[in-house]
A = this chain, B = another copy of it.
């Protein structure tokens, strides 16, 4: 099929540093090319892809000091897509919502994956205005705050199978916390759970400017107080395999409606079980007792860690291979693009039949 992938311009595809959406767009795009599709990627000009790249800006916006306002650049992106829309069997948008009025002329070839949380008050009136736009959620839970819309599918994210290798041998006996230091990620819970379990905790996390005060007032004192906690700062993609793979478990003690939670499947790819709080997508991603444990409190997390040996690391990786590879993700999207095409064909035939019928009646 001829497929357009339309990425945000904040980060390159794949991103140089952070950027969950751009990473997923990259994994999906490369996998679609590998599966033999003719893919065009609309993205920042410093993106790297085996698809045809339409470079909308010279470089990603977030790291470009000359860019003050991302909106004009995304409107240029829309104009590029509009001009070339007729070339594609499917146009797959990853840019939230700004394109929705524009695509009405080719809505039957359009699908939009919503990558973020949807429980924001500005979005309810918005999606009420677009009840027919085909949407993909990245977990069923993500849909909860939404008004009635046209959900085409839930398609879970996936990672290339060889991105993070499973580590089935001996681990190094620590718990891992990976992500951002922010109140909704609850690193404080991770620290207390590790302390009560008598286990080491390693925190690999970035601290955004907005979370600086939270770090200084709430978390840094705990890190200082507990000698079993080690804060190692930000790590890059290559360090991730080792950091996750050598851990006994990943702690994911979140306190917000996580729409997906990539780090859970990253741990699973490394064969590392996940102790996750029941929030957002967690019950859809983690199979309790197979890929880790789902808990409702710090007490339950401490208890779960006592049963960590019941979880087979090869089984964790098998759970990843069964549900969270990029192949599976791409196959799901291709099935959806084909559904759209079939619906178009059916509707064209229906119109032709009606017209024929009408002409016969006239005759």
Chain A: residues with CB nearer than 8 A to chain B? 57, 66-69, 71-73, 75-76, 78-80, 82, 97-98, 100-102, 104-105, 120-123, 125-126, 129-130
Contacts and interface: CB of A to CB of B under 8 A. Distances in A.
Given A69-B120, A122-B67, A75 B57 contact: no
A122 B75 contact: no
Given A75-B100, A101-B102, 5 more contacts: A71-B71, A72-B123, A75-B101, A75-B126, A79-B101
A357 to B, nearest CB: 29
A122 B68 contact: yes
Nearest to A57: B125
A67 B120 CA distance: 9
A82 B69 contact: no
Contacts of A76: 125-126, 129
6 contacts: A57-B125, A68-B122, A69-B122, A73-B122, A75-B101, A82-B101
A292 B126 CA distance: 49
Given A101-B102, A102-B101, A120-B68, A125 B73 contact: yes
A112 to B, nearest CB: 12
A71 B100 CA distance: 12
A125 B74 CA distance: 11
Contacts of A104: 82
A40 to B, nearest CB: 17
Contact of A72 (B73, B75, B97): B97
A146 to B, nearest CB: 13
A76 B100 CA distance: 9
Contacts of A100: 75, 79
A68 B79 CA distance: 26
What 8 A-B pairs have minimum CB-CB distances, sorted nearest first? A72-B126, A79-B101, A78-B101, A76-B129, A72-B122, A69-B122, A82-B101, A66-B121
